[in-house]
Amino acid sequence: MSRATAERIAGQLSRRDFLAAAGGSAALAAFLAACGRGDSNTNSSGDFAKKFNLFTWAEYDDPDLLASWGEMNITIFNSNEEAIQKLVSAGGVSGFDIVVPTGPYIPQMVREGLLDELDLGRIPNFKNLDAPYIDQVFDPGNKYSVCKNWGTTGWIYDTTVVTTDIQTWSDFIKAAQTEASGQTSVLDTPPNLCGIYFWANGIDWTTEKKQDLDACEKFLVDEFAQHVKAFDSYPGINLTQGNYALSQVWNGDARQGLISVEDAGDDPTRYKWAVGAPETELWMDNWCIAKGASNLDAAYDFINFILDLDNSLTDIHFHGFNTGLKGIEEKASDMPYKEMVFFTNDEVDRMRAQTINSAQDRLVDIYNKTKAKAGA
């Protein structure tokens, strides 16, 4: 990518004041307070089994690439809230070695002892990360996290059902309430659900104002929920298989949907994808080592493996998210749907990072009420 684009991304990810000490959610803090603090085990001999337990998002790494490294047991989560709740409930003995949270959640996880401090000397390929993807405000000095990849949120829709062109979140809402009513999916996360309303109405999606949150709840519960078919964090392939007509979606998942259409011999031009507008999300997911990891040597070895440029490129071809390594875009010159992985300056300009603040509990409550009203 151009240096100008890289600088825009760095600014978007770093300009927010992530709350590392107090957090924003009393309920989440209560969960975290119950967490124990186990000690990680290190095998200094260099002789270790290449296997570990991974706690991550679905369809997030090339299975053949993972198998070429070694053996891992993968457990899936749909949202950061779900992941943290499960880690806390385990009381420090979750059995996971690596977890993949989104940046703003890391300070809370660190504060309550859910993550192990990293020894970057054991990850020599850390040097391959480009400057915009290191030393983030949510983890200065990369003490607990290493960038896995980053992306954004938009929509994908079936043009044989939704004939109106969708250019903004307001258009998305209108289509969901009309042509795609009962055939619409939204991401299964509280911030993204509420983001639809905030982005469509020119409201900062990190707002803590009661009037904004009240208006969001009234709209989503009373006017929008009845049109939602499913809360689905991985709708790309589902939509292209005819299960939805319109979906809120992360860019890599939308790309997987289009590739699956091509693989089936069908016409991908039937579907349209776009980055959300006038504003939308910018997120960065991260490799972190869970406190109490019992396969610590394998965890470090894998993180170093995945930061190799060739391995990273293989993984991008599968999951469709920019991994932030130096020279990765140039190396991906022949990648299908490359424009869904590497974004223009104008697209990056409208992306905004999430914060965890005093509104977090309310967002979860709105999400729960909307989901109950939708019966999804």
What are the pLDDT digits (tens) for 45-57? 467 899 999 999 9
**Domain count of the fold of the chain:** 2
Backbone dihedral angles phi then psi of residue 363, each to the nearest 5 degrees: -60, -40
Selection from 243, 315, 260, 262 nearest residue 285 by Cα: 315
**366 plus 259 within the same structural domain:** yes
Q: Kindly calculate the radius of gyration of the chain based on its CA atoms and give it in whole angstroms.
A: 20
**258 plus 231 within the same structural domain:** yes
What are the pLDDT digits (tens) for 138-164? 999 999 999 999 999 999 999 999 999
**145 plus 157 within the same structural domain:** no
Say whether pLDDT at 263 is over 90.
yes
What are the pLDDT digits (tens) for 85-117? 999 988 767 899 999 999 999 999 998 889 999
pTM for this predicted structure? 0.86
**319 plus 304 within the same structural domain:** yes
The CATH number for 166's domain is 3.40.190.10
Q: Are strands 351-353 and 280-289 parallel, antiparallel or unpaired?
A: parallel
Helices (H) then strands (E): counts for the chain:
15, 10
What number of other Cβ atoms are within 10 A of residue 115's Cβ? 23
**120 plus 29 within the same structural domain:** yes
CA distance 57 to 80: 9
CA distance 212 to 222: 15
pLDDT band at 67 (very low <50, low <70, confident <90, very high): very high
**104 plus 168 within the same structural domain:** no
Which of 27-36, 149-158, 282-291 comes out lowest in average pLDDT? Answer: 27-36
Q: Which residues pair with 275 in a beta bridge?
A: 154
**262 plus 324 within the same structural domain:** no
Average pLDDT, whole number, for the chain? 89
Helix (H) or strand (E) holding 360: helix 360-374
**257 plus 177 within the same structural domain:** yes
pLDDT band at 41 (very low <50, low <70, confident <90, very high): very low
Selection from 40, 18, 24 nearest residue 140 by Cα: 18
Range of the domain at 63: 3-150+282-353
CA distance 42 to 292: 11
DSSP code, position 121: G
**274 plus 309 within the same structural domain:** no
